[in-house]
Amino acid sequence: MTPRRTPPSSLPPEVRDLIALHNRSRVSRRSVLRGAGALGLGAFLAACGTPGSGGGAPPAGGPATAAGPTPAQDVSATEKTVAWANWTLYLDYDDATQTYPTLEAFKQQTGIDASYSEDIDGNDTYYGKIQGQLANGQDIGKDIVVFTDWMAGRMVSMGYTQQLDKAKIPNAANLRPQLQNVDFDPGRANTLTWQSGFAGIAWNKEQVPGGLRTVSDLWNPELRGRVEVLDEYRDTLGLIMMEQGVDISSPQWGSNEFGAAVDVLNEQIASGQIRQVKGNSYKEDLIAGDAVAVIGWSGDITQINAENGDKWEFAIPEAGGTLWSDNMMVPIGARHKANAETLMNYYYDPAVAATVAAYVNYVCPVQGAQEAMQQVDPELVSDTSIFPDEATLAKVKIFRSLTPQEETDFGGQFQSTIGN
């Protein structure tokens, strides 16, 4: 669910220097992307990987029981380190010094040597990579990992996470009320939100001058063959279900409601209305002109607008959109939980959160960050893609947690519908 962005860190040094030239005063993600955009196709292509490959998944599935391994001994008191694995372009980065300014400040402030790596490029692939070690309670070498809601839920229910000591994270009280009590982790005992975003509809303003208001507008015959939807069913089918009047966050709905949404998707794929069902690469199709209207992610549209001129518009459909989050958690075998908690507490400081938000441009989950943004970048205080207003928040819902059986069935049904 988390958009995978063009990672400047994977570019050769000379290209990075070029990008740095573009960042004169303020290093924000937008300006980095503008630099990357200027490099054109090369940088753009460098971001693409093998879809769904990689991940040394163990051969024989998960363990049969969820009894789970036991947490590792915490050696934080003697070893002042913490290792954090995150998605690409998800923390403020300074090209000139090649460091993460907020993380540097954390090191100085606390004396904890924090290491950061952009290891995660997909929920499925990263989970596949670490799942074998987690099942045996081994240390994966990371003290904090970041997963999207549904995968975070799987981690928690499998017993692959350590319970957080909230006394050590007083700033956790700053978490947005809407995110404080999620069904996959009641009371946020094991996880804390890193960033959030919306799934909604987006269109090319030139090709679709009238704009779109509902998901059904995507099925307009004039758009035939130029519509793309996400390969994350919680977003694509979530939006269709909301259009059909289902409250996706309520436990009331089941396979009938899901099936009704699958039928709509199936019909639109069979008729050729939907060109392709895609992950992150729908952005490339919007840029190339293959797609003119999509179900997509808010942050992506901000990004491609910054790169290619303000050509697209994003909206939450009238019937509602989805709200997803990426969540920090401490894996079961991690040996520096207390240090990890200190780090989480630091990033829930509104001023620090505002600095990060100014770079990543996602929905900031920390209350008070909007006020703190005044000091960081006054322009962004009223940016609704970072600080959505009440009206927007009222329109989005979090897709409810699925039972393991549902997850297998729904996932299978969706994959069959999209041809796999």
CB neighbourhood size of 128 (10 A):
16
Closer of 7 and 128 to another protein (Cβ): 128
CB neighbourhood size of 374 (10 A):
11
Closest listed residue to residue 77, CA positions, set 344, 337, 346, 347: 337
Closest listed residue to residue 198, CA positions, set 399, 29, 369: 399
What's the min distance (Å) between Cβ of 19 and another protein? 20
Closer of 101 and 128 to another protein (Cβ): 128
In angstroms, the CA 143 to CA 148 distance is 17
What's the min distance (Å) between Cβ of 151 and another protein? 10
In angstroms, the CA 93 to CA 130 distance is 26
Angle at 299 between CA 194 and CA 9, to 5 degrees: 75
In angstroms, the CA 353 to CA 241 distance is 33
What's the min distance (Å) between Cβ of 225 and another protein? 7
Residues with Cβ within 8 Å of 244's Cβ and at least 6 positions away in sequence, in order, are: 257, 260, 261, 264
Site residues, another protein (CB under 8 A): 41, 45, 48-53, 55, 57, 59-66, 124-125, 128, 154, 157-158, 224-226, 269, 274-277, 284-285, 288-290, 403-405, 407-408, 411-412, 415-420
The tokens of 206 are what?
A: 């030139």
Closer of 204 and 355 to another protein (Cβ): 204
Closer of 70 and 420 to another protein (Cβ): 420
Residues with Cβ within 8 Å of 44's Cβ and at least 6 positions away in sequence, in order, are: 6, 36, 284
Pairing label, strands 113-120, 145-148: unpaired
Closer of 92 and 300 to another protein (Cβ): 300
Closer of 178 and 207 to another protein (Cβ): 207
What's the min distance (Å) between Cβ of 199 and another protein? 17
What's the min distance (Å) between Cβ of 369 and another protein? 34
Closer of 25 and 50 to another protein (Cβ): 50
Closest listed residue to residue 164, CA positions, set 324, 398, 326, 343: 343
Closer of 291 and 343 to another protein (Cβ): 291
